[in-house]
Amino acid sequence: MSISRGTSTGLPGLLALFFGGASVLLAQGNPPPEAASEPAVLAVAKVLPAVVNINTERIVRRQVRDPFDDFAAQFFGAYRQRPREIRQTLQSLGSGFLVDPAGYIVTNEHVVERAADLKIEVITSDNKSYKARYITGDAKKDLAFIKIDSEKPLPFVNLHDISPNLLGQTVIVVGNALGYGTSISRGVLSGVKRELTIENIDYHDLLQTDAAINPGNSGGPLIDLSGRLVGISSAKMAFTPQGIPTQGLGFAIPAAVVRQNVEQFKKIAEKQPPPQPGASGEETGSSNADRLFGLQLQDLTPELADALGYAADRGVLVSAVEPDSPADQVGIERGLIIYKIGKFTVNSVKQAESVLSQADSGSSVDLAVGIVGRGGRGRRVETVNLQAR
């Protein structure tokens, strides 16, 4: 199985029209006169201005040490030598689309995975570039919510008028397949309520289509011939679990699921404080946990929890601690779990970074840190206070 990622650019001569006052804003293009009557051309021109290209960049820091030191530690005591740090820049491409004139964008969670550590760049159909910030997401549904700021209202896809999703109807995938710029593929809605497992996550009630979904399309809209949203392109199946090559098996998250989650995402966005300059750590490419406290965090996956004997789906793993940092000074060590930051329970790096985005230099934060074994056994958790540097 392979997961596609996508981008989006625009067509010249696209105009923004207002319908019904300011309630719905849809950007409508001007197709060539000879093709103006073709439904597919009109549908693409209607939606394309709201489709965006999402470029992400993440700085990954790994600590490497000589295997001989681990061997020697068995005989001569604890490991003492400072490990060597390696930095890597990971980049990915994806698509998304605006769902609100204020600049809210929905995409796949895997497109902006670990978004708290990312630089997120959004390029709109008129080739304007924006810095985006991650709002929230749901990994189990592969949906994420990000935002860009614009001085004027932006074209968007109307989630209050979605496709009925009828088997056999013509559907169109819009995105930047393989990074080739604006790309369109066409097919039919060939199945509903499909089940799919990707990287140990089970997805339910997916739509199936034979319209080509390629790397670069993920997060982009799947639309019908009226320009209404059918779903979000999410994945394609290149091989069956038995290794048999497949053809024409692409999957999308239904528009009704998207609409329901966007409503919840907006409520979360309303409760979040406005972004503070420099709080995201973008200038240095580092996370807030690293920049302020010398902590490198990692999601505690079920596999990691099982290997370490920890309770699953609880807390975030401390993967490294910078020597002489605030975290090091209070005794936090690699391998411990952070369960709460202040009064907020955290179960992912994104949640931890969202809470820490409100901290700044000189402020203090309480962390509930320690270890909780499987079944609650061996519970050792303490609250420590860290002062941001």
Q: Which residues are catalytic?
A: 110, 142, 218
What is the Cα–Cα distance from 287 to 278, expressed in whole angstroms?
11
What is the Cα–Cα distance from 110 to 138, expressed in whole angstroms?
10
What is the Cα–Cα distance from 248 to 36, expressed in whole angstroms?
29
CA-CA distances (angstroms) from residue 197 to 201, 202, 236? 5, 4, 11
DSSP category for residue 314: S
Q: What is the CA radius of gyration of the chain?
A: 23
Whose CA is closest to 161, among 51, 26, 266, 326?
A: 26
Integer distance in angstroms from the first to the last C-alpha of the chain? 44
Query: Which residues lie below 8 Å from residue 204, measured CB to CB, with a gap of 6+?
Result: 193, 195
280, 115 in Cβ contact below 8 A? no
DSSP category for residue 199: T
143, 106 in Cβ contact below 8 A? yes
- Tell me the Ramachandran region of residue 142: left when phi exceeds 0, alpha when psi lies from -120 to 50, beta otherwise: left
What is the Cα–Cα distance from 254 to 106, expressed in whole angstroms?
13
What is the Cα–Cα distance from 261 to 369, expressed in whole angstroms?
31
Helices (H), the chain: 39-47, 67-76, 255-271, 288-293, 302-308, 326-329, 349-356
Angle at 122 between CA 347 and CA 178, to 5 degrees: 95
189, 209 in Cβ contact below 8 A? yes
Residue 332 CB coordination number (10 Å): 22
Indicate the residue type of 166.
Answer: L
